[in-house]
Chain A
Amino acid sequence: MSNILEIRNLVVSFASDGLKDRAVAVNGVDIDIPAGKTVSLVGESGCGKSVTSLSVMGLLADNGRVDSGEAIFGGKDLLKLPDKQLREIRGNRISMIFQEPMTSLNPVLTVGRQVDEALRLHSGLDKAAARKRTIEIFEKVGIPEPERRYGCYPHQLSGGLRQRVMIGMAMVLQPDLLIADEPTTALDVSIEAQILRLMRDLQKDSGMSILMITHNLGVVAEICDWVYVMYAGEVVEKADVFTLFRACAHPYTRGLMASLPRMTPKGQRLYNIMGTVPNLRAMPVGCRFSPRCEFATERCRSEKPPLTDLGDRHLCRCFDPRMGGDAT
């Protein structure tokens, strides 16, 4: 199967005031997004999952910089494209939706007009045709009374409806790739389930690929095909979703799974990963997870484990995967 996007050896760093060294937030990440599939980047705050997607889109903050790497999309390296060409792709062939739709929508324009704008900018439709198409897409993403909602301002809509507007805006140009950064994190569970189902249905219809950035393993299990687990700026494990939930191998992934309060009866302690994520400016020398890993050896503390294939394209960055028996 062909990949719609291939990220190779991506390194991204940030400058901070008063500090000479740059903080490396993403350190040599490789990601493949197959056509028509949903790939998830999962990890905790600061692991580099959002920075990875923002760099691909050329949307890093001013103090951020891509130090090396490639992101091949349609035969072109997005990281080296001039701004103008990148803008052509962004919003047109690749769309993004974010966690908080309120902050990504313009509060002084009606939602209809905001979708229109993207449409007219990229497709050259005239005003009436763009309006018609916008109302169609509102209907498709499940916005009730789309004609009336066209004239609403963002604050007049609920969180779920605003996220539907964002998805409509992202879908209206029929992108090949939708990047969704925590799209349901701010929503209630009944609305979250609706939005996840909508994304699955839209993918089935359009054949687009989705890059889903999330911290929620439930969301991963719900809609993803491939999963990349990130820790401290690196991919520590990659597997298809069924393998990951059945037989994850990296101690970090296994710790995450075990710390979910899903089946643990009351009174029994939850598994917890000791300590906290390392500081970006003071990374451990060997394996970045070694200070928190209960299985770490001298070798783990001094030498960095490579990402090795355990078979069936299941990759794991650990000298001794599945240490300590089968996954819980």
Chain B
Amino acid sequence: MTELLRAERLVKEFPVKGGVVHAVSDVSFAVQKGETLGLVGESGCGKSTLGKLVLDLIPPTSGKVYFNGQDLSQFKGEKLRTLRRGMQMIFQDPYASLDPRMSVGRIIMEPLNAHHIGDSRAERKAMVQALMEQVGLRPEFYARYPHQFSGGQRQRIGIARALALNPELVICDEPVSALDVSIQAQILNLLSDLQKQRSLTYLFISHDLNVVRYLSDRVMVMFLGQLCEMAPTEALYTAPRHPYTRFLLEAVPQPDPTRRDEERALLTGEVSSPVNPPSGCQFRLRCPYADAACAAEHPALNEVAPGHFCACHHPLTGT
């Protein structure tokens, strides 16, 4: 397998009144060509910020992103734009991410225009209609406007736009969170079909642990800006090593009423603020296993089993 994307010690801090928001703190990971890396965490954990850093939509405070072995920070202007063609994004809210005054055809064509792809308008239109067909939209709807489509269809428009430049990497930021269950399944199937057809690589960001499990080869878990666990999907779901991961998994309401009286450990307390977060391990204030070592030193991300990384001074035994 070859590496498509690598993030090295990414840090993003936002100055605010009264302190600094540590949105992403020292996060490193790599994504192989053709794989889906899931990224889960609760609101404010920095997962969307991390997605934007990877695309260089916002500059990191420190750290580097390599795409196809090239350091993004070494590129500017036209060269950066060319490199970025290979990486696109699909957003959560198909209502907010489409311009209501543009026809669907124009929305999908915009990236082609911006990158001067296609020799004539007619050629670009043909490309757009082919894309519409691929994502399950009828090409005759070319001249319609976003409000004439349902939520699921709008997400298909967003996907077509992201694919227009034939990217290698697609960052999916909560792409099905705003959709109903039956429509969610249609879009997840579409994403996995497109991945096969076009050998796409996905960084799939979501708070929905079931959706991430279905789609991902490997999964990363973030908490307050830090990576706490990264592992092959089944290992993470069946034998989590970080206490936070286990709490998250136990908290998900499962569609099985016979399990509802099972004893479950629930997280107590509220998510700490990313402004001036606690010393040492970010999770220690909510962790039942926390001790002095956790306050003194931030745990490093260690390999606890082949390909299974965990940042905890007291990792679970994995059963």
Which residues of A are interface residues toward B (Cβ below 8 A)?
Answer: 44-45, 144, 158-161, 188-194, 196-197, 215-224, 241-242, 245, 255-257, 259-262, 264, 266-267, 269-273, 276
Contacts and interface: CB of A to CB of B under 8 A. Distances in A.
Interface string B276-302: 000000000000000000000000000
B24 to A, nearest CB: 18
In this complex, the interface size class of chain B, counting residues with CB under 8 Å from chain A, is 35 or more
Contact of A216 (B185, B253, B256, B267): B253
Given A245-B257, A266-B214, A192 B251 contact: yes
Interface string B231-254: 001000000000000011011111
B233 A266 contact: yes
B211 A222 contact: no
What are the nearest 5 A-B pairs in CB distance?
A: A218-B253, A261-B214, A259-B185, A193-B251, A44-B180
Nearest to A189: B251
Contacts of A266: 214-217, 233
Contact of A261 (B43, B211, B251): B211
Interface in B198-233: 207, 209-211, 213-217, 233
15 contacts: A189-B248, A189-B251, A190-B248, A190-B267, A193-B252, A197-B266, A219-B253, A221-B254, A221-B257, A222-B257, A245-B256, A259-B181, A266-B215, A266-B233, A276-B150
Contacts of B211: 261
Given A189-B209, A270-B188, 20 more contacts: A44-B182, A188-B207, A189-B252, A191-B42, A192-B253, A193-B250, A193-B251, A193-B252, A193-B253, A193-B267, A218-B255, A222-B257, A245-B257, A257-B255, A259-B182, A261-B185, A266-B215, A266-B216, A269-B192, A271-B185
B192 A267 contact: yes
Contact of A217 (B181, B217, B264, B270): B181
A160 to B, nearest CB: 6
A215 B271 contact: no
Contact of A260 (B189, B210, B250): B210
A274 B66 CA distance: 40
A158 B253 contact: no
A193 B209 CA distance: 14
B251 A273 contact: no
Which DSSP category, helix, strand, loop or mixed, fits chain B's interface?
A: helix
Contacts, number: 122
B74 interface: no
A215 B152 CA distance: 16
Interface of B: 42-43, 150-152, 180-186, 188-189, 192, 207, 209-211, 213-217, 233, 247-248, 250-260, 264, 266-271
Contact of A221 (B151, B183, B207, B260): B260
Contact of B183 (A158, A222, A276): A276
Contacts of B209: 189
B214 A264 contact: yes
Contact of A272 (B185, B213, B253, B268): B185
Contacts of A144: 269
A301 to B, nearest CB: 20
Nearest to B233: A266
A45 B180 contact: yes
A256 B253 CA distance: 16
Given A188-B43, A261-B185, A218 B254 contact: yes
Contacts of A224: 257
